[in-house]
Amino acid sequence: MASSPLLVFSPKLFHRLLQLPPTLRRSLYSTTSKPEIYDVVCVGGGPAGLSLLSALRSHPSTERLKVALIDSQDLTTSRAASDTDVYSNRCSSLTPASLRFLRDAGAWDKVEAGRVQDYHGMQVWDGVSGSRISFDPLDGKNGAGLLDALAELVPGNRFRESRRQYGMEDKGVVATMCENQNLTHALLQRLKDTEGVKVLDKTKVESIQLGPEPEDKALDLSQWPIVTLPGERQLAARLLVGADGANSPVRNFANIPSHGWDYNQHGVVATLQLDHAFAELDRRMAYQRFLPTGPIALLPLPNNKASLVWSVTTPLAAKLKALSPPAFASMVNAAFRLQIADLTYFLEHVGTIDIADEFSWRLPNTSPASTGLPQSLPMVKAVQEGSTASFPLRMRHADTYTGHRIALIGDAAHTIHPLAGQGLNLGLADAQSLASSITYGVEHGMDIGSPWCLDEYVSDRWAKNNAVMGVCDKLQKLYSVQSGPVVWGRSLGLGLVDRLAPLKGMVMGAAGGVR
């Protein structure tokens, strides 16, 4: 009887084996280790991913799902700042719809309330023509806007206090400014309170691949994504969620194309100090001026602080960041208050002129009426040290948000121009919709990684996100034009919307996430 051939160790063969890619090399190994089985594995510990997991842990139908969170960053460092005079330059404008979702998920109660700021109106104007539109949710609604104005004339009135006490204040809130780190910390605290979520931070995903063919009666993981972590640790996901940003490894694994373009612009951000402080119950405003270089927005933070987002060309962004804090503050004031011709001169000579001196003599000679300047716009007094930064602007949209046992949310699914401040709100809406689809699947005995469960999420979110992204993209292109009939047409349109209360209400409703 012939004997079985013996396997002979070959150093040369072993050396070649080590040179193979890790994914292929791992598939050739014979190992007895088995992957850990999870219902949901979320890659990405930003607000979108964290809010999804918070929503799942907050619903009785999904609270017992076995869930894991993977992130390469140290999530224990995500804490709300304690210094009330210093604010992060990474802030987001949260719509009322986003706040309702966060409250339902049990996270908003964990936010450091003293570091968030409601605002109650918006002033938007065209830097070229001066045409303007004002959004005030209380104007024309049961006379509340007029009532506010009259009440302020009565000494010792407590109208604002009673409006907040009896829940009227929320009806006048356009959006709420919140630092990203404050929101992230609140969501992490919520997950910590609920327990049951395996948090694997400071952990990089090494590879994602489909599981091996089953042996005998073993669980068939051949169509499950297997996430490999350092130390050969493996997680098998019934549903793998990519909340891992614009360069999503999960999206790449699922082979989902993402199309779009770069704007060749950067968003310059900073934390500003205004020339006067605001009381807690004061009605705050947000301001945005559309300039040929890109929109500039001033968004309120508590006390006398504000958050700046200014879209400019990439070379100009580098020059603005190199300015001293006093010069940068003067440049921001010029961008909001001067004629386009004067501002163009400033921008063309950044670093070669005394901006503060130029601004001080040009401002008295500039008529506010000629620029559309709102009377309530505060002056920028200073820039918080070290808060000036920038990020590239681009638009990307995935062809679909799901694959077999795959779902994408947030920036992994779409990246949008910041002019409407909707980026994080779209990500939170994704998380809410996906959590709803998973809940429905669990309650009806569906496999939560199957197309039957996930198709509703794609149907709900893809078209809505695409519409918002399209509007933002067209606005960016529309307001980049400096002259001609386009300027006349957009000015006419802005004026008409400002005069038509029902249409303006629809715009505000859409921006606020009203369904």
**Which residues does 3 contact at the CB level (< 8 Å), separation at least 6?**
none
3-state helix, strand, coil in the chain (%, to 5): 40, 25, 35
Q: Which SS3 state, helix, strand or coil, does residue 135 take?
A: strand
The pLDDT, as a whole number, for residue 21 is: 57
**115 residue type, one letter:** R
The pLDDT, as a whole number, for residue 370 is: 87
The pLDDT, as a whole number, for residue 139 is: 54
Buried b (16+ CB within 10 A) or exposed e, 47-60: bbbbbbbbbbbbbe
Check if the beta carbon of residue 59 is closer than 8 Å to that of residue 194.
Answer: no
The two tokens of residue 158 are 């407590």
The pLDDT, as a whole number, for residue 112 is: 94
The pLDDT, as a whole number, for residue 502 is: 44
What distance in Å separates the CA atoms of residue 197 and residue 63, rounded to the nearest whole number? 10
Largest CA distance in the chain: 110
The pLDDT, as a whole number, for residue 480 is: 59
The pLDDT, as a whole number, for residue 257 is: 96
Please give the chain's pLDDT, 515 residues, in tens.
444 343 444 556 545 655 665 555 445 443 446 899 999 999 999 999 999 999 999 999 999 999 999 999 998 876 656 677 899 999 999 999 999 999 999 999 999 999 999 999 888 888 777 677 766 655 544 334 433 443 444 444 443 444 444 343 455 788 999 999 999 999 999 999 988 899 999 999 999 999 988 876 668 899 999 999 999 999 999 999 999 999 999 999 999 999 999 989 999 999 999 998 888 778 899 999 988 888 899 999 999 999 999 999 999 999 999 999 999 999 999 999 999 999 999 999 998 999 999 999 999 999 998 888 998 999 999 999 999 999 999 999 999 999 999 999 999 999 998 877 788 999 999 999 999 999 999 999 999 999 999 999 999 999 999 988 887 777 766 665 554 454 445 444 545 444 444 444 444 444 444 44
What distance in Å separates the CA atoms of residue 116 and residue 103, rounded to the nearest whole number? 15
The pLDDT, as a whole number, for residue 79 is: 65
The pLDDT, as a whole number, for residue 81 is: 61
pLDDT in tens, 206-226: 999 999 888 766 688 999 999
Could you tell me the CA-to-CA distances from 410 to 407, 426, 431, 437 in Å, in that order?
A: 10, 7, 8, 16
Check if the beta carbon of residue 473 is closer than 8 Å to that of residue 422.
Answer: no
pLDDT in tens, 256-268: 999 999 989 999 9
- Whole-model pTM: value is 0.82
**406 residue type, one letter:** I
Neighbours of 100 (CB within 10 A): 13
Closest to 479 (Cα-Cα) out of 464, 494, 467: 494
